[in-house]
Every structure is written in C-alpha cells, then in structure tokens.
Amino acid sequence: MKRIVYALALQTSGAIAVIDGVIITYGELVVESFKVAQMLDEANTPVGEPIGIMLNPGILQVVAQLVVLLTGGTCVPIEPCFPKRRIKPMLQVVQDKHVIMHTRGALKLRGFNHIYLRNLGKHSTSIISNVEFVRLPNRSHKLFTSGSTGKPKPVSVRASSILHLATKTPATLLSLSD
C-alpha cells in the first residue's frame, strides 16, 4: 500500500490524493508522512509494532496510517470518541506503546507515547527518491470487532485485503484519477 502511494507521489506529485475540506496532493501526503514517521523512527519502534491512531476520518487519518506503514508498524485505528476506560484496554490488548492523536490535551493516556499531528498546510513536495521500505509482517492493520462477549476483539488485516477492497470492489473502485 505504501509503495503504491509513494509511486503515485513520484509520478504525479501534484495530483490530488485527498479532499476533506482542504486538498492534499500525493507529494504533500508523502512529505508530511515522512516527517512524522521520523518521530516513530527516533522512538526505535520495532517492525510490526502496533501503533494506535485516534483520529476522525479525514486527511489526518490518511497521513497517520501512511506514517505507520512507512515505519513498518501496524495501524490500530480507534474512534477518538470512545470513552477513555474503553480505549486504554483496547490499546493494551494489542500491546500498543504509541498513539497518534490530533492535539495535545484532548486525551492523555498514561503509559503511552503520544504523537500529535497538526492541521496540514502547504508544504514542499520534494519527495525523497530511492526509499527502501521496511518489509511488513503479514498484517498492516488491527481492527476491533465487538466480539461474541461484547468486549472489543482485535482482528489482524493484511494490506493486500484492504487494497483488494479498494481496487476490486465496484462500489469503491480506486484509480489513478482519484
């Protein structure tokens, strides 16, 4: 997945990647994601480590997921509107140590490294060439289901499954013109 986004950024850096009130190009998406990915790299995040993402749907969610994939982590998206007493056990069950959030002070989770994303502005689209990507484990995401007990249960999802949904499902066809 990260290779596809990166290739699009190299080929068409000015092409629109996401529209969500503001527009972000593939070049801006990749440049911003690499900047934030450095924070996780500096924290010596091991390959495959789950990284919590507590953001609403939108541009920042897209950036956060690309950040996690670029560092070789596993995306663990969690609705930020969930109560704190529900969020912390969800992060603990997947042995998460890092959480990507929007703003400081919105929610403080003791025992976790908080990484804050700010609203994106226009940035240079100078993309690093010849990037070597970390090989990911079989999963790219851990999503929570309600489970038969009513407790959230993590399920591993492969990047290829998400790409299949995005490119092979008639209702959500993803193409270069998106």
User: What pLDDT, in 10s, does the model give residues 134-146?
Assistant: 565 667 888 888 7
Q: How far apart are CA 24 and CA 29, in angstroms?
A: 6
Q: Which domains does the chain have, with CATH numbers?
A: 2-172 (3.40.50.980)
What are 159's two structure tokens?
Answer: 């990047």
Predicted pLDDT of residue 76? 93
> Span 144-172, mean pLDDT?
75
Instruction: Convert the pLDDT of each residue in 73-84 to its tens digit.
Output: 899 999 888 888
Predicted pLDDT of residue 127? 58
> Span 8-25, mean pLDDT?
85
Phi, psi (5° rounding) for residue 54?
Answer: -110, 80
Confidence of residue 128 (pLDDT cuts 50, 70, 90): low
What are 165's two structure tokens?
Answer: 């949904």
DSSP the chain: -HHHHHHHHHH-TTSEEEEESEEEEHHHHHHHHHHHHHHHHHTTPPTT-EEEEE--SSHHHHHHHHHHHHTT-EEEE--TTS-HHHHHHHHHHTT--EEEESSTTS---TTSEEEEPPPP------PPSSPPPPPP-S-SEEEEE--TTSS-EEEEE-HHHHHHHHHH-GGG---TT-
Is pLDDT at 6 greater than 60 in this prediction?
Answer: yes
Q: Which residue has the higher pLDDT, 158 or 120?
A: 158
What are 35's two structure tokens?
Answer: 């900047």
As a whole number, the mean pLDDT across the chain is 79
